[in-house]
Amino acid sequence: MSGIVLTFPILSGKAEAWRRFCQELSGSRKKGYEASRMRLGITRERLALIENAFGAISITTLESEDIANALNQIVTSNETFDIWYRERLHDLHGINLSAYEQFSRPARQAQNQEVHFEWALNSARTL
């Protein structure tokens, strides 16, 4: 299972509209939402809101067996629900997901990366 956490600022004055968007996902758009997520292979999605003195921010957590493919499909799908979803994100966050299409393709790993820290649980080790 892989996942990703996406944070997007909510445009000024749009926090209440963002709440209504979430209500639509669990209400009038639930069938389309569930069909989309099943088709995309998304197994879990969580939308959270943080409001502070600087404004509102949404935090979206997605999980999937193939998160790269799921994100690619969210960005490029021509399905009615997915188009509506992208339009709502544009209205609420001011982002155009179609501009992210280049990032939805697998990227080559940089040859000059410097790894400064890495940790992994060694499941074979006994405590």
Query: Looking at residue 96, what is its pLDDT?
Result: 87
pLDDT, tens only, 16-29: 999 999 999 999 99
User: With 60 as the cut, is the pLDDT of residue 127 above it?
Assistant: no
The answer to whether residue 109 sits within a structural domain is no
User: With 60 as the cut, is the pLDDT of residue 15 above it?
Assistant: yes
The answer to whether residue 124 sits within a structural domain is no
Does the model's pTM come out above 0.85?
A: no
CATH number reported for the structural domain that contains residue 76 in this entry: 3.30.70
Residues spanned by the domain of 64: 2-104
The answer to whether residue 73 sits within a structural domain is yes
pLDDT, tens only, 61-73: 999 999 888 998 9
The answer to whether residue 69 sits within a structural domain is yes
The answer to whether residue 125 sits within a structural domain is no
User: With 90 as the cut, is the pLDDT of residue 123 above it?
Assistant: no
The answer to whether residue 126 sits within a structural domain is no
**For residues 3-18, b (16+ Cβ closer than 10 Å) or e, as one string?**
eeeeebebbeebbeeb
pLDDT, tens only, 30-42: 999 999 999 999 9
The answer to whether residue 11 sits within a structural domain is yes
User: With 90 as the cut, is the pLDDT of residue 13 above it?
Assistant: yes
Q: Positive or negative, the Cα torsion across 96, 64, 120, 108?
A: negative
Tell which residue, 23, 17, 31, has the closest CA to residue 89.
Answer: 17
Domain count for the chain: 1
